[in-house]
A and B are shown apart, each in its own frame.
Chain A
Amino acid sequence: MTINKKKDEPFFQIKQEKNSSAELSSPNREIAFQHHEKEKREAELIIANNEPAVQNKEKEKSAAELSLANTELLFQNEEKEKRAAELNIANIELLFQNKEKEKRVIELSIANKELALQNEEKEKHAAELSALNKELTFKYEERLKEVSDYKYSLDESSILAITDQKGIIKYVNENFCKISKFSKEELIGQDHRIINSSHHPSEFIKNIWVTIANGKVWKGEIKNKAKDGAAYWVDTTIVPFLDENKKPFQYVAIRSDITERKKAEEEVTYREKEIVLNRISDGVISVDNDWRYTFLNEASLKTHPRSKEETIGQVIWDVHPEMKGTIFWDKYHEAMLTKKVVEIESYYAPMKTWFSAKVYPSSDGLTIFYKDVTERKKTEQTILELNEGLEKKIKERTEQLESANKEMESFSYSVAHDLRSPVRAMHGYATMLLEDYESKLDEEGKRLISEITYNSKTMGTLIDDLLTFSRLGRKEISKETIDMNQLTKASLAALNSGNTPKIIFSKLLSVTADPSLMKHVMTNLLSNAIKYSSKEEKPIIEIKTKEENGNIIYLVKDNGVGFDMAFADKLFGVFQRLHSDEEFEGTGVGLAIVQRIILRHGGKVWAEAKENEGATFYFSLPKIN
């Protein structure tokens, strides 16, 4: 862990004497106070001692002055014997003054003795203080030793570091140096980045700082890196030391070495990883930050020249020198540098193989998953080529189809034109024969001619229906909203029903479809309904609509002959008929046309019926908004 804070304070032990232990600090202060008091008293005593001395000096000075005055008086006596009478008085006075002064000297002497007594008392007091002081000093030293013992045991047992509030290392113990393989000189003044293993995410580091900066103790396991690059794990407790403002001014990190345990744990993880990764078909290798193999799974051995044991610890570029300069070399370096996942899919010329690789960086190096994708690439290439070929073919086929369509159209036309003409001629000449030679023909002759006209007519219809069927299949659908009521009316108008049925419909739902094609559908279904109900006494045809699941369903129901549901699947086939021509005329193309149109609209057509109970034809169309 890294502590970066700074404070220009002495080291831990000094600071501790000053501040750490509350119990010690208080008697210490007391001692200091008592010292001061003592000194103050002593000074007072000296001053008191000096006072009587001054008084003595003054007395001495007064005595000298008196002596001088005596001499002066003797001289004046000699000089002034004449004025003896006057002076005698003055002399007596002076003597009296002298006696007064002596009296004062006695008084001063008494005072002096008193002061000396006081001084003695003070000295006695000072001696008492000194004894107390000694006692206190002893206790303080005892405590200091205790602290020092604690520190010693901590130093011995733990890896210790102290940083300032900015994390700058101020103190490390021997254990710290031993595990980190840095010297004290190398460490002090640095922060903990010097031993950062990059193993932990930045979130983790941030969390440590948030905790301790808030004055809380942080505990956890940290992976560090020694000077020689070897990783070591420490169980760490970081204690922030707070100043009077409750702000940390230094951090004490107490660590213990848990590398062995961690290694054991990692070993287990490694084993587990190995077991799992040996099962997968991808090659998996790991290299450390110095590009040395730390792991190879079974599958990876296929692309490695030597055994796993021989390869582990080798530098990847020594094992695969041919990789240098390839995109793999570039990308591996990119992953190592950016610590971001890198994916590669490239042809690896030295092995004539396509590889797909995913490179996962971690603090410990890189783990690379890779696989041989040559087969897939070949397939892709083939698919690509096939696609290109296919596109070309599609284009060709489209052209062919277009030309075939044109051919088909011209074929249809010529079929229509060329088949219709002779059929028309047959019908025409047979009719003309009958017209011009009726009188010369007997009934059988006339019947034979009528067979010719009937069959040629049928053939004409067949040709027309077939052409319609093929034309509607080709016709481009152009959708619009259709009013089905209108359309039904128009369809009915185009049909001439002999036995006029009752036709019921109202409010049919609109639909989006091709109008001309829908008209074909409706006309076909209605003409069928009319045809197959024509033999009923009261033919009724109903047309209804309903909306269901996004579809609009139409039904055309008649009360005619119906049909056997067993043959329902044959209804919509071309030329498929469920009734003979004698019963009901028809070519069998109508419903095939209906189905074709509905299917081309994405719809569905079906029918329900019972013999002699009528038929219902349904068709559904998707509702388009």
Chain B
Amino acid sequence: MSTEVEILLVEDKRSDAEMTIRAIRKNNIANHIVHLRDGKEALDFLFGTGEYEGRDINKKPKVIILDMKMPKVSGLEVLQKIRANETTQKIPVVMLTSSKENPDIEKCYALGVNSYIVKPVVFDDFMKVVSELGMYWVLHNQVTYK
């Protein structure tokens, strides 16, 4: 983990994760993608706890892509903890959800999510959306906390 993390992808679904990573790689957005499978893992990673004890928490990802619905700790809780902590509160967070019917979308904005994306069913659209958000947050966005 010496290399800088560019994208932290927190996604419990293997297929969605695979497609997301494929989209990012295919568009050469990032080389360093960390894929974690649930919210608890994500928090341990970000705060250097549990499994990730001793990790240099100053090495922050350029963007965190969070799936909203996950086992154990949900994307919403992860977002809440990220925003509540000084070291992580400025990291851009993009929330992914399977549908726009999700009642927690409003809460995401209230908690300070940077983007919110409904995963398209159609693969081409999915690829397009992921690559666009990756490009924006990884390549163009000037991160303020550095």
Contacts and interface: CB of A to CB of B under 8 A. Distances in A.
A and B part of one assembly: yes
B1 interface: no
A459 B121 CA distance: 9
Interface stretch (B46-54, B95-103, B131-139): B95-103
Interface string A446-464: 0000000100110111011
A223 interface: no
Interface in B79-124: 97-103, 119-124
B67 to A, nearest CB: 10
Interface string A422-459: 11110111111000000000000000000001001101
A424 B99 contact: no
B123 A417 contact: no
Contact of A412 (B22, B69, B101): B101
Interface in A209-252: none
A471 interface: yes
Nearest to A423: B121
B15 interface: yes
Contact of B69 (A417, A423, A432): A417
Contacts of B101: 409, 412-413, 416-417, 467, 471
Contacts of A410: 103
Interface size class of A (residues with CB under 8 A): 20 to 34
B102 A424 contact: no
B48 to A, nearest CB: 31
B59 interface: no
B16 A421 contact: yes
Given A409-B103, A431-B123, A431-B124, A420 B22 contact: no
Interface residues of B, number: 21
A424 B15 contact: yes
A420 B18 CA distance: 16
A467 B99 contact: yes
B19 interface: yes
Contacts of A428: 15, 18-19, 123, 126
Interface in A539-594: none
B97 A417 contact: yes
Contacts of A461: 121
B25 interface: no
A516 to B, nearest CB: 13
Nearest to B121: A460
A410 B103 CA distance: 8
Contacts of A457: 121-122
A425 B16 contact: yes
Given A429-B15, A432-B22, A420 B119 contact: yes
A594 B126 CA distance: 29
Contacts of B22: 432
Interface of A: 409-410, 412-413, 416-418, 420-425, 427-432, 453, 456-457, 459-461, 463-464, 467, 471
10 contacts: A416-B98, A417-B69, A417-B97, A421-B98, A424-B15, A424-B98, A428-B15, A461-B121, A464-B99, A467-B101
Given A421-B16, A424-B98, A464-B99, 8 more contacts: A416-B101, A417-B99, A420-B98, A424-B126, A428-B18, A459-B121, A460-B120, A467-B101
